[in-house]
Amino acid sequence: MIKDQEVANIIRKEENKQQFKLSMIPSENFFSADVRKAVGSVFMHKYAEGNVGKRYYEGNQFVDKLELLTIERAKKVFSLPENWSVNVQALAGSNANLAVYLTLLNIGDTIMGMYLPDGGHLSHGWSYEPKVEQNPNELTYMGGSRKVNISSKIFKTVQYKTNPNTQLFNYDEIERIALEHKPKLIITGGTAYPREIDYQRMKQIAEKVGAYYLADIAHEAGLIAAGVNKSPVGIADVVTMTTHKTLRAGRGALILANKEMIKKINRSILPGLQGGPFNHSIAGICVGLGETLNPEFKEYASQTVKNAQFLCSELQKYNFQIVSGGTDKHLILIDLTNKPLLGKKFARALDYAGIIANMNTMPQEKQSPANPSALRLGTPWITTRGMKESEITLIAAWINQVMEICSQWNELEFADFENKVKSSPEIATIANQVQELCMNFPLEI
């Protein structure tokens, strides 16, 4: 253990929390001991600016071997065509997206991504105008003066929303928006769209308006690697992803594209955006990618989706409304507008009960992102623990109990609400039951 007691104590507390609570944030997962060892390895000491065989520092013989192996594994995992390659150096998903923008676009070009409150991502061009009511039937969003992400500061942005009735994409509408605004880049993917995306149709739209098509598969990368969700590889012009969600391969990002484009993307990463790559993170990704090639990973990914779908049907029994009526993936979004508690209070109450989730916006959102109408839940981590349908039944019942117990305090200010939850013996009982369940599915910490 670490000798610095102050840090060691904090780490121990985090370990206990992870061990004894149910982590149900869909963008999180628990990595194997091997992935964690690789991340903690001596590779963290080395500077390796440049690419395989072409570094600006000496002593990179083994970094080269590692990076090459990671690229080869990524090619295999995502079944890349012969003329495609991979950049493994982006430090995070947002950097990976920025590297793509820097490669394909000029400042001031127009990019088109999914509307953030419907489930898009900040790095896909988010900006907003505070306190401006949205017309529910207007499916185009032109952003506002608060250009909170670099992608909206340097590009013109247009965003597509989901259909207000189905909460799904209306591809004809997306095509209409693209034809009207002629973006140079169209982006799909995000953080809370629970359905598979029709990559073929999106590519068709991009081709029709002469745009590049970027598929950001950060959330579903592991499901795609396992063949449980459809892949945009061979369809989109570029694919980006983070490696730590469903892919379960440590923290970092991958960029996939044809070899010519990857050469340019490599230059956008360095010197464009970053200094030396995090070789230790790449080591973790390499081990994690290796693990996805085991047959058990396919089973894992398939069970992750089954668990999420079962969670939807169990929650529906308690009259929880599920955005889009279900899920094709590892995540679900509960529309809480028919319940006494909205996202902020419900997420905090669940945490006291031992279930970690996050508040989230949803299609047709009328509340602020600080207290949105939905709760986002995911199954990647609990499935890694080995939980299946019978555990999901218990979890759904606990989620409902927390809503029922805490409804009586829904009118209280947040701090008073939290105090009531904190001192509730009924919530403490659920937390104990959650802990017991977790002890039956121990994490190898």
Residue 257 DSSP SS3: strand
Taking residue 292's Cβ as centre, other Cβ atoms within 10 Å add up to: 25
Quote the least distance from Cβ 334 to ligand DSN, whole Å: 16
CB-side neighbour CA atoms (13 Å) of 70: 32
Footprint (CB under 6 A) of ligand DSN, residues 120-149: 121
Q: Judged by CB under 6 A, how many residues of this single chain contact ligand DSN? A: 4
Nearer to ligand DSN, 27 or 151 (CB): 27
Q: Is there a contact between 360 and 192 (Cβ–Cβ < 8 Å)?
A: yes
281 binds ligand DSN (CB under 6 A): no
The residues that are catalytic are: 47, 49, 216, 242, 245, 251
x-or-dash string of contact with ligand DSN, 178-197, rule CB under 6 A = -------------x------
The residues in 56-115 that bind ligand DSN, with binding defined as CB under 6 A, are 93
Looking at beta carbons only, is 32 or 191 nearer to ligand DSN?
191
23, 27, 151, 383: which one binds ligand DSN (CB under 6 A): 27
Nearer to ligand DSN, 266 or 358 (CB): 358
Provide, rounded to whole angstroms, the least separation between the CB of residue 160 and ligand DSN: 19
Rounded to the nearest whole angstrom, what is the least distance from the CB of residue 27 to ligand DSN in the complex? 3
Q: How far apart are CA 46 and CA 10, in angstroms?
A: 27
Q: Closest CB to ligand DSN among 360 and 364? A: 360
CA–CA distance, 146 with 234 (Å, rounded to integer): 36
Distance separating the N- and C-terminal Cα atoms of the chain? 12
Sheet containing 374-378, strands listed edge to edge, beginning at the edge strand earlier in sequence: 321-322, 331-335, 374-378, 358-360
Q: Which two tokens stand for residue 345?
A: 């209070």
240 is an interface residue for ligand DSN by CB under 6 A = no
Check binding of 157 to ligand DSN (CB under 6 A): no
Rounded to an integer, what is the distance from CA 147 to the centroid of its chain?
22
**Is 96 or 186 the residue whose CB approaches ligand DSN more closely?**
96
Sequence-ordered list of residues with C-beta below 8 angstroms from that of 127, at least 6 positions apart, any chain? 143, 144, 145, 146, 147, 148, 149, 152, 157
Could you give the string, one character per residue 339-378, with x where binding to ligand DSN holds by CB under 6 A and - elsewhere? Answer: ----------------------------------------
424 lies in the site for ligand DSN, by CB under 6 A: no
82 Cβ neighbours under 8 A, 6+ residues apart: none
Residues in touch with ligand DSN (CB under 6 A): 27, 93, 121, 191
